Structure 1
Amino acid sequence: MRKISIRFFLYWLPNPRWAVTAAWRYEGFKLQEGQYLRQLFFQAPVELKTTSIPLNIRYFDPSGFFAGLGVTYVNQDIRHLDQQSLAVLPTQSEDFVLVDAGLGYRLPKRWGIVALEARNLFDQQFQFQDYGFQILVDGVNPRFIPERTIFARFVLNF
């Protein structure tokens, strides 16, 4: 089994109120030919390559108000093992773009935060294979979810 993970980050503060972030992330997983038997029982891919490029801009006002907007491009190539012939199937590719947004308010004297965030704002539908199959746990915690998710956050510091 061969795994690889590469990340590059860029953070920029054009002024005290604005923050811009960009990143490039590559993850790869590939089984060697003699290791395919395991995939018959777990229905996991034999090869998986994921590239993601998130771009974010955030605004922070001295009054406590803050807002952010992010766009993430994701490309994923996946290869499975055919259960009948034990041959590796052709590569399946998936490309998608996700938009996230949020706004909030930092309470006076840093007593806490009230925020509202939306992930996958435009409800983009896609097929994404996370890397959780590498560990034998039933829990699922994907990085990208193919449904719009809106959540509120309330944090108190004392």
Structure 2
Amino acid sequence: MSTDTVPLSRALWLFPFALTFHNLEEALWLPGWSQQAGALHPPVGTGEFHFAVGVVTAAGWWLTWMASRRGGRWLALAAGSWVLMLLNVLLPHVLATVLMHRYAPGVVTALMLNLPVNALLLRRALAEGVLTRRAIAWGAAVVVPTVAASLPVLFWVGRQIQ
């Protein structure tokens, strides 16, 4: 089956799977890597990172479920998450790998899963006419700063829980 024939209602479930695998890759190696990342990533402990990445992963599954059930703004917010993960391919993964001249945790799944899956989802949403570019931009304008602002808070909560 060609990806052009997969309806968005089915394809959107690729997002939480790609997100989960990506976050597992990061969970395994990012805490240790962050200790030598310098300005590219603040040092983060294993427990606090696992807490934060667990919340973000659960949120991705929940948002996909809401988008599949309700569509509309929920689907636009899901599309904002797809945009976020496309941005995440370059910043920080590819950039950190290039600048440090070594593997940055998450770069493999960012390039092999997040890039194709999230590009596919955005293309399907536009091709099926279920989202406009404006709706996608609105979703990204909500999701990107919300996630960026929540990560330090989630790291802090993760440290408190330990």
The structure with the larger Rg is 1
- TM-score normalized with structure 1 length: 0.25
More helix by share: 2
